[in-house]
Amino acid sequence: MKSNTAQNIVHLGMSEMPAIKPEILTELQREMGLQNCQDVVERAVLELSDRLWNLENQLKKHNLPEVQRIANSLIAISQQIGLTEFASVAQSLANSISHADQTTVRAIAARLLRVGEVSLFYALRFHDDFG
């Protein structure tokens, strides 16, 4: 069954669906309380958003070592809040850089931006749908 957020994502025409491990957010909420968990998720989403913006700028500059560093940081942060698809695509990006295939790097980076947009939106709405 799709949540309201998932239905809204489809309605908005976003083609990527986020994969999330709700048990991670549920466990964070149990350990920290609802408000503290929401604060942590919001800070993580802001940090991920800033890093995605920086990643996009570094791609334009063809600074692949920095793109790889940013991708690795995206993996770590997104895993902490259960954004599994986002982490997986960031891992694919980090891996593709070591092969130095510009076409592949750009394609995966574009997908990461799409997945990132919908995943961050979904993470912010998680507690409204499941909390």
Classify 67 as helix, strand or coil.
helix
Q: CB–CB of 38/128 below 8 Å? A: no
Give the pTM.
0.82
What average pLDDT does the chain have? Answer: 84
Q: CB–CB of 88/118 below 8 Å? A: no
Q: CB–CB of 112/56 below 8 Å? A: no
Radius of gyration of the chain (CA): 15
Q: CB–CB of 116/48 below 8 Å? A: yes
Task: Note the pLDDT of residue 19.
Answer: 73
68, 72, 75, 76 alpha-carbon torsion, rounded to 10°: -160
Token pair, residue 95, equals 């891996």
Q: How confident is the model at residue 85 (pLDDT cuts 50, 70, 90)?
A: very high
